[in-house]
Chains A and B, each alone.
Chain A
Amino acid sequence: MEPARDLFNATPQLPDVFVRWFASRGWQVRAHQLALLAKANAGRSALLIAPTGGGKTLAGFLPTLVELNERGIRSRNLKSTGRALLRSQGLHTLYISPLKALAVDIARNLEIPVQEMGLPVRLETRTGDTPASKRQRQRRDPPDILLTTPEQLALLLASADAPYMFGALKRVVLDELHALVTSKRGDLLSLGLARLFKLAPELTTIGLSATVAEPDELRRFLVPQPTHDRAHADLVTAQAGAQPIVTMLDTEEHLPWAGHSARHALGEIYAHIKTHKTTLVFVNTRSQAEFLFQELWRANDDNLAIALHHGSLDVAQRRRVEEAMASGRLRAVVCTSSLDLGVDWGDVDLVINVGAPKGCSRLLQRIGRSNHRLDEPSEAVLVPANRFEVLECRAAIDAVAENAQDTPPLRTGALDVLAQHILGRACGEPFIAEELYAEIRAAAPYAALSRADFDAAVDFVATGGYALKAYERFAKIRRGKDGRWHITHPRVAQRYRMNVGTIVEADMIKVRLVRSRRSGAIVPRGGRLLGEVEEYFIETLRPGDTFVFAGEILKYEALVEDEAYVSRSDATDPKVPAYEGGKFPLSTYLAARVRAILAKPEAWRALPEQVREWLEIQQWRSVLPKAGDLLVETFPRAANYYLVCYPFEGRLAHQTLGMLLTRRLERARLRPLGFVANEYALAVWGLGDIALHIKRGDFSLAQLFDEDMLGDDLEAWLAESALMKRTFRSCAIIAGLIEKRFPGEEKSRRQLTISTDLVYDVLRKHQPDHILLRAARSDAATGLLDIKRLGEMLSRIRGRIVHKALDHVSPLSVPVLLEIGRETVHGEASDTLLAEAADELIKEAMS
């Protein structure tokens, strides 16, 4: 890495007006801000890596402000000739952020230097909320700086005047790039960027990012990739802030075996809040946030101002919390990853992370939310909610001390996003396939895209990509005599514009508070809107069920169109405990560190006594595996036989493993009944005595865990997996096979006249290599099914399975066994479930 300081001398002085402004604010220009300015002056694209609070955003805009200032002086000297001159200047800088709110906030913050220095700069935002009249005007007469989102960029590029609007573009600033590139939005952005490089010959980029594991990959994202080589933007690294002080709460209370509530540590968390000015309390899921918020208020004898913030709450409510926070009126905010990114807060002096940190980069970014003065260390306290999380917290603290990073690698561009982009390109102006293929491969995520896949995507956009060429006459795009692909009807472009974007959340249902109804009468509309929950959560509720949401215990009343009606409940404990939202798997890197701690008894000294004892008893009763080994324990309990293994690969990969293992056990006639997975372990139980069969030599664990389960067994399961169908659905929507919105109306899945599950079944049967099925499979590798990670694990443990046949439950297995009944056992809709429900009825009837 290139230290920013070396560039100091090569850096041109800031114009006086800027120097004076910095001085008036009592600020000093930072080395990385000047370094970035030097890169921009030299016409180079650059990636700035800086911790939160490092003046990152200002650094990103400084080159633009300086240039626009100079341009303003020049045009004054030129004695403006009116509109012609104005037009020739056009849009100078495009700023793209992952969050609409962030774009709006940055615009507000940027107005301050612009006004105080009197710069001749017009800056505007463009989001989904921008009125149509203003959007049209922006296309005709663009501002100097436009702040927007990846989706809006795609829309702008899909119009015929894109060459006019972007022809003079000088710079694109990409904020929070580390967060953008990990999703399909990043794919979409990369394709938009590739188009911009074509339209604007003078374009350079600035990427702003938190610290990442592989900065080189982000650097590639910022510049066009040559055909047979790799190109990188320059790198500027800001000086790191003071080393954060991270500790683990050494609780006086009994440490729970399982669960995620951290109820035991409530008093201690409250005490921390009391002794600090402003505390951010991060949790991993919305249900945890809801729970903790409620419990904190129960203990809040001092009436401290404690607020709640998560992505499902109503936007207006979230804004109120953010404003209260920024103006220093809050003592604490309980929040989820909805606050991982974004807007600067007031004076946060403590970050508490409740539950597992999941990854060290993630933890570092959260810690960075506290204390924005770089020279003072941030303070963070980790609160593990159970014993395994203690190990994970320990591993994370060690990793933070080493400044280790575990951000995921750059994505391979998704095919469904590619299809959406191709249609967008045709809506903009007709394209020649060869040229578009070359343009797309300049985008780093698509650098390795094969011509065959590109052609398949074009074919899909045109007529659906079916081997059975049935839809030629219904084509959306068609190649004309001039060799250019063009849309066949203006309606196609209209529909594209209504469906652009890659965010296909689970369908959300609005939650509205109404008065409890005693009779069966339909409640009138119009109660207060509390927020939104996933449709599949509501689907599991029966009227009368209680659950926690928006800081209250609510009773589910009814579903009326796309709104769930709820009423206040006097229940003290919600009947339906789990409302999951935002689960991240444990990072591979931290998992390896946790395994290493387990394998090394000398490392246990750094652990709380309760945990140490637990591990010592495990060592005595069973065994603790070596870092690279997989421990498999078998034991009888009640009428069943259990198999528990400890891969430490995260819940998603474990669930997939559980599905596949039960299939195999079924085939081996070991009669499995169910399984349960948590982040660290998987337990399968059934009627067959696995240990006995191993002893007799007619069953082997090596075979059970053989990698070939990822062949036929996986295929068979994918055919019916609800998770796979959910994955396919989002690909089908992104690629434009299913349109969520039609002109004049918006349909949710409830109203869609076609079910993607049925399309999946039909397509799978008749054309298993269809591009959308390939897209879904590739998503499944890393998404909800985490197959890639499972594959890596199976190959890692080959020949390294340690079997321990026990006569009763082992200490290490207790946490996962306690999840039984608390967690959904299968995570899959199946006949087994129906059979059980039917049996239950019979039992009820007979008792």
Chain B
Amino acid sequence: MSQAAPNLAESEGNLIVLSGVPLLADPRGALYWPEHRLLAVADLHLEKGSSFAARGQLLPPYDTASTLACLSALITDYSPRCVAAVGDSFHDGGGPARLRDADRDNLTRLQRGRDWIWITGNHDPEPAPGIGGVFQETLRVDRLTFRHEPKGGSGEVSGHLHPVARIAHRGNAVSRRCFAADTTRLVLPAFGALTGGLNVRDAAFADLFGTLAFKAYLLGDGRIYSFMAKRCLPD
């Protein structure tokens, strides 16, 4: 049954109960479902650097390697049976073809011995050859539904919005990626190394949750800091 990460004990701070299902929010930006040994990450935006480069802004070509290294560490820690990449896994449709060999090999290695589900996103709506895994628009497991763009249904885990929250204290403001969740819906933080964010006080979140009665779980150094959305600063 449940297998927690060796160095990440279940604690109140990291625990999010969604539609009655206990989930672990990892401060590195992934969601782990112990019961099904399922690891979910969203918005990897692989090959974002090269996507910009093709349009004339020569951003570092290291984002894919960086993102996969973080993912690799999580997979080592949790040893999940299934990995769900919740959409926008590549920054554009040409991304899979631009993968460097080393990164492609690394990806193949990570997929070995487990299910790998590419949920399609708005940046990568089409299945792509040569990157393994299976392609699905949504993934339903038990009471939960994983899809890229949130629709607001009960038990929904989504990405797309790249939530970021800002907390001010003593004249300083700290901005971090975060999970945004109430008791029935959850938006994953963007996982990609070059992926920016949208403030949780943006109208998009109010539309989704209906009110400000949701929480932001900020990614800290080795732990999660949770705040009510109304305590977070707008942009």
Q: Report how far A837 CA is from B50 CA in the complex, Å.
A: 39
Q: Quick one: given A464-B60, A767-B60, are A829 and B196 in contact (CB under 8 Å)?
A: no
Q: Which residues, 158 to 208 on B, are CB-close (under 8 Å) to A?
A: 166-176, 193-196
Could you tell me the distance in whole angstroms from the C-beta of A721 to the nearest C-beta in chain B?
13
Query: Is B233 an interface residue, CB under 8 A from the partner?
Result: yes
Q: Which among B52, B63, B176, B225 is the interface contact of A838 at CB below 8 angstroms?
A: B225
Query: Is A824 an interface residue, CB under 8 A from the partner?
Result: yes
Q: Quick one: given A540-B173, A753-B196, A829-B172, are A739 and B57 in contact (CB under 8 Å)?
A: yes
Q: Is the CB of A834 within 8 A of B234?
A: no
Q: Quick one: given A464-B53, A491-B56, A758-B196, are A836 and B62 in contact (CB under 8 Å)?
A: no
Q: Which among A470, A834, A841 is the interface contact of B174 at CB below 8 angstroms?
A: A834
Q: Report how far A647 CA is from B105 CA in the complex, Å.
A: 54
Q: Which residues, 37 to 64 on B, are CB-close (under 8 Å) to A?
A: 48-50, 52-54, 56-63
Q: Report how far A750 CA is from B196 CA in the complex, Å.
A: 11
Q: Quick one: given A542-B168, A766-B66, A841-B231, are A737 and B221 in contact (CB under 8 Å)?
A: no
Query: Is A495 an interface residue, CB under 8 A from the partner?
Result: yes
Q: Report how far A770 CA is from B172 CA in the complex, Å.
A: 30
Q: Quick one: given A470-B50, A830-B174, are A840 and B169 in contact (CB under 8 Å)?
A: yes
Could you tell me the distance in whole angstroms from the C-beta of B235 to the nearest C-beta in chain A?
6
Q: Report how far A762 CA is from B218 CA in the complex, Å.
A: 21
Q: What chain B residues lie within 8 Å of A214 (beta carbons)?
A: none
Chain A residue nearest in CB terms to B55: A474
Query: Is A588 an interface residue, CB under 8 A from the partner?
Result: no
Could you tell me the distance in whole angstroms from the C-beta of A683 to the nearest C-beta in chain B?
16
Query: Is B227 an interface residue, CB under 8 A from the partner?
Result: yes
Q: What chain B residues lie within 8 Å of A833 (beta carbons)?
A: 167, 169-170, 172, 174
Q: Quick one: given A463-B58, A833-B170, are A765 and B66 in contact (CB under 8 Å)?
A: yes
Query: Is B100 an interface residue, CB under 8 A from the partner?
Result: yes
Query: Is B127 an interface residue, CB under 8 A from the partner?
Result: no
Q: Report how far A825 CA is from B171 CA in the complex, Å.
A: 9
Chain A residue nearest in CB terms to B98: A470
Could you tell me the distance in whole angstroms from the C-beta of A284 to the nearest C-beta in chain B?
19
Q: Which among A543, A739, A755, A837 is the interface contact of B196 at CB below 8 angstroms?
A: A755
Q: Is the CB of A762 within 8 A of B63?
A: yes
Q: What chain A residues lie within 8 Å of B54 (beta carbons)?
A: 474
Chain A residue nearest in CB terms to B171: A824
Q: Quick one: given A559-B234, A830-B174, are A476 and B66 in contact (CB under 8 Å)?
A: no
Q: Is the CB of A466 within 8 A of B235?
A: no
Chain B residues bordering chain A, tally (CB within 8 A): 42
Count of A-B residue pairs with CB < 8 Å: 135
Q: Is the CB of A762 within 8 A of B194?
A: yes
Q: Is the CB of A476 within 8 A of B58?
A: yes
Q: What chain B residues lie within 8 Å of A474 (beta carbons)?
A: 50, 53-54, 56, 58
Q: Is the CB of A829 within 8 A of B173?
A: yes
Q: Report how far A759 CA is from B62 CA in the complex, Å.
A: 9
Q: Is the CB of B220 within 8 A of A754?
A: no
Q: Is the CB of A767 within 8 A of B62?
A: yes
Q: What chain B residues lie within 8 Å of A470 (beta carbons)?
A: 50, 53, 61, 100
Q: Quick one: given A750-B235, A824-B170, A837-B167, are A759 and B196 in contact (CB under 8 Å)?
A: no
Q: Report how far A492 CA is from B226 CA in the complex, Å.
A: 45
Query: Is B65 an interface residue, CB under 8 A from the partner?
Result: yes
Could you tell me the distance in whole angstroms from the C-beta of A838 to the nearest C-beta in chain B?
5
Could you tell me the distance in whole angstroms from the C-beta of A722 to the nearest C-beta in chain B?
9
Q: Is the CB of B57 within 8 A of A834?
A: no
Q: Is the CB of A763 within 8 A of B62?
A: yes
Q: Quick one: given A540-B171, A739-B57, A825-B170, are A758 and B225 in contact (CB under 8 Å)?
A: no
Query: Is A831 an interface residue, CB under 8 A from the partner?
Result: yes
Q: Which among A466, A576, A738, A826 is the interface contact of B61 at CB below 8 angstroms?
A: A466
Q: What chain A residues lie within 8 Å of B168 (beta carbons)?
A: 539-540, 542, 837
Q: Is the CB of B59 within 8 A of A759?
A: yes
Q: Which residues, 54 to 88 on B, are CB-close (under 8 Å) to A?
A: 54, 56-63, 65-66
Q: Quick one: given A578-B171, A826-B172, A838-B227, are A754 and B59 in contact (CB under 8 Å)?
A: yes
Q: Is the CB of A737 within 8 A of B58?
A: yes
Could you tell me the distance in whole angstroms from the C-beta of B47 to the nearest C-beta in chain A?
10
Q: Which residues, 210 to 235 on B, are CB-close (under 8 Å) to A?
A: 218, 220-221, 225-227, 231, 233-235
Q: What chain B residues lie within 8 Å of A834 (beta carbons)?
A: 167, 169, 174, 176, 218, 220, 225
Q: Is the CB of A464 within 8 A of B58?
A: yes
Q: What chain A residues lie within 8 Å of B225 (beta carbons)?
A: 831, 834-835, 837-838
Could you tell me the distance in whole angstroms from the C-beta of B160 to the nearest C-beta in chain A?
15
Q: Which of A463, A476, A767, A834 has the most CB of B within 10 A?
A: A834
Could you tell me the distance in whole angstroms from the C-beta of B85 to the nearest C-beta in chain A?
19
Q: Which residues, 39 to 54 on A, are CB-close (under 8 Å) to B?
A: none
Could you tell me the distance in whole angstroms from the C-beta of B86 to the nearest C-beta in chain A?
20
Q: Is the CB of A841 within 8 A of B100?
A: no
Q: Is the CB of B172 within 8 A of A824?
A: yes
Query: Is A614 an interface residue, CB under 8 A from the partner?
Result: no
Chain B residue nearest in CB terms to A491: B56
Q: Is the CB of A539 within 8 A of B233?
A: yes
Could you tell me the distance in whole angstroms from the C-beta of B196 to the nearest C-beta in chain A?
5
Q: What chain A residues lie within 8 Å of B171 (beta carbons)?
A: 540, 576, 578, 824
Q: Is the CB of A476 within 8 A of B56?
A: yes
Chain B residue nearest in CB terms to A825: B170
Query: Is A67 an interface residue, CB under 8 A from the partner?
Result: no
Could you tell me the distance in whole angstroms from the C-beta of A839 to the nearest C-beta in chain B?
10
Chain A residue nearest in CB terms to B175: A829
Query: Is A761 an interface residue, CB under 8 A from the partner?
Result: yes
Could you tell me the distance in whole angstroms from the C-beta of B191 to the nearest C-beta in chain A?
12
Q: Report how far A471 CA is from B62 CA in the complex, Å.
A: 12
The contact sample of 13 A-B pairs, CB cut-off 8 A, is A466-B58, A470-B50, A474-B53, A474-B56, A539-B168, A540-B168, A738-B57, A754-B196, A762-B62, A766-B65, A833-B167, A836-B169, A837-B167
Q: A468-B100, A825-B172, A829-B174 are in contact. List 6 more A-B contacts (CB 8 A).
A: A466-B60, A468-B62, A536-B173, A543-B234, A759-B60, A766-B65
The 6 closest A-B pairs by CB, nearest first: A464-B58, A766-B62, A470-B61, A837-B169, A829-B174, A474-B53
